[in-house]
Structure 1
């Protein structure tokens, strides 16, 4: 019993002693209060300075209530505060023609972190899209086509890039995969739109046998190639080991060649089989040169599918309506009767005067 009382007494004394240790004097409490007060004032003043600096640097002509103007036309120092993920989100959801070149280059530096494009994936290129036209060429040369997302983006998506930029991307592809791309039909099929980035002297290296392995998908994407590149591919297509001369084509070959059909010489058009004419798509008819349209025979026109024939007729009518010789002829026919009438009136007046 005495032991328990003694233990209780010790615990009571210990608790009182600990409370005395935790108790602070009034002077100490005042110092802590002043420290906290000063720290709060310092934080508030710092935030005000940042806020004021941001708007002091802004051009007075910019409407502050328009956040996009603040981002793209505000001070560069403010743009640099935006994190890369937010910049990607802004670029994806903004029309590219509204973004100044200076901001596009600044965004590129932020996304690449001052490095080349070797570390970027498909989503970064998707965000920039046509803004890649202003990106330094030496950066695009190091695009990592080993990343499947990068290869898929540039091969499957039509990006309105300058011809030189497409050529640099093709050089980047060749830097990664080597110079044997033209030997494999499956590898050419993976190129998609990138195929038009290779010059004509490289496209000539595609063998006719390999050309036959090209799918409709890749051949439908060569509309971005220039005339010389299309002519090179057409010459390969008409090789005996590929699809042969146009008069031997069936609807399968015409449909497969797609845009390359526009390269056919006009003297060969009338020799195409009627069965093959049905495979000419409306898009191909739109791209045909105007002077080639008149070489289609009446039977061939009747064999065209409805949409293709309608485009053909409209283009022929447009050509006739814009033909200067026809306009002059019609104008003369309208003027000629009036001249005769005026001449007869003039003769009548002369006789009356006499």
Structure 2
């Protein structure tokens, strides 16, 4: 690939820089290596060529720093999901999953949805920042949050306290409703204003359940008593409010 990069370097014509896709005959699957240079555009095109025409091994050989710095661009590529998922192994390297830092996860945010659910559950959930990061990630599906929530409930017997519920956010969609029914009604009143804006993985049945709990007497009460402040706390639950309750606000 070094030879290929030499042949396909950026050129200047009439003061304008141009880049070139690498020749496919120089792309040998399983043997591609990306050389990061100061020619950022050509480096990006070369990386794109590896994602499109390379294999999983080529993806795993990408520099971790490049993947982190270009995570948003990589996430927009229309390539096989397996290739996008392989970027996690690039970033993780030899670091044990529980030792992955919050800072690394934050840079990896655009690609985080492709990480395996069991792998996410191995992260350091005792770190409030990591727990909140997972709980506020908008692209995780119900399976992912379910596996992580199950793991967190095992790690933290005090998860029903408002402090921890407010960190879980979307992970509440992975908690069985039978568990949530055991939580005192006044606990729901102590949930943050932002929490129900993050429950994207919940199905309609779960959202209606949480709306019912929020409409209990010791929480927000009936809709006719709601002010703008109460309405703003409902977040995505507002879509489940019936027409008659909406008209009573």
Structure 1 residues 191, 113: CA separation in 2 closer, same or farther (over 3 Å shift)? Answer: same
Deviant stretches of 4+, over 6 Å? none
Partner of 1:244: 221
Looking at structure 2, the residues matched to 78 and 228 of structure 1 have their Cα atoms a distance apart, in angstroms, of 43
Q: Which aligned pairs between 1:9-88 and structure 2 lie closer than 5 A?
A: 55=26, 57=28, 66-72=45-51, 73-74=53-54, 78-88=58-68
State the 1:229 CA deviation.
1.4
Q: Report the secondary structure of 1:152's partner residue.
A: helix
- Paired residues of 2:170 and 2:198 also in contact (CA < 8 A): yes
Looking at structure 2, the residues matched to 170 and 96 of structure 1 have their Cα atoms a distance apart, in angstroms, of 28
Question: TM-score scaled by structure 2?
Answer: 0.69
Structure 1 residues 234, 113: CA separation in 2 closer, same or farther (over 3 Å shift)? Answer: same
Is 2:216 aligned against 1:231? no
Structure 1 residues 252, 80: CA separation in 2 closer, same or farther (over 3 Å shift)? Answer: closer
State the 1:159 CA deviation.
2.6
Unaligned runs of 5+ in 1: 1-46, 60-64, 278-354
Instruction: State which of 145, 166, 180 in structure 2 corresponds to 1:203.
Output: 180
Instruction: State which of 147, 152, 159 in structure 2 corresponds to 1:181.
Output: 159
Partner of 1:343: none
C-alpha distance after superposition, 1:93-148 (max 9, x if no partner): 42344343333343322333367632222343344446444433332221212234
Looking at structure 2, the residues matched to 269 and 87 of structure 1 have their Cα atoms a distance apart, in angstroms, of 47
Q: Which aligned pairs between 1:122-271 and structure 2 lie closer than 5 A?
A: 122-129=102-109, 131-156=111-136, 158-178=137-157, 180-182=158-160, 184-222=161-199, 224-270=201-247
Q: Which aligned pairs between 1:341-352 and structure 2 lie closer than 5 A?
A: none
C-alpha distance after superposition, 1:316-347 (max 9, x if no partner): xxxxxxxxxxxxxxxxxxxxxxxxxxxxxxxx
C-alpha distance after superposition, 1:159-197 (max 9, x if no partner): 31222112122223323323x312x22222222333333
Unaligned runs of 5+ in 2: 7-24, 31-41
- Paired residues of 1:237 and 1:244 also in contact (CA < 8 A): yes
The structure with the greater share of residues assigned to helix is 1
Question: TM-score scaled by structure 1?
Answer: 0.51
Partner of 1:103: 83
Q: Report the secondary structure of 1:242's partner residue.
A: coil
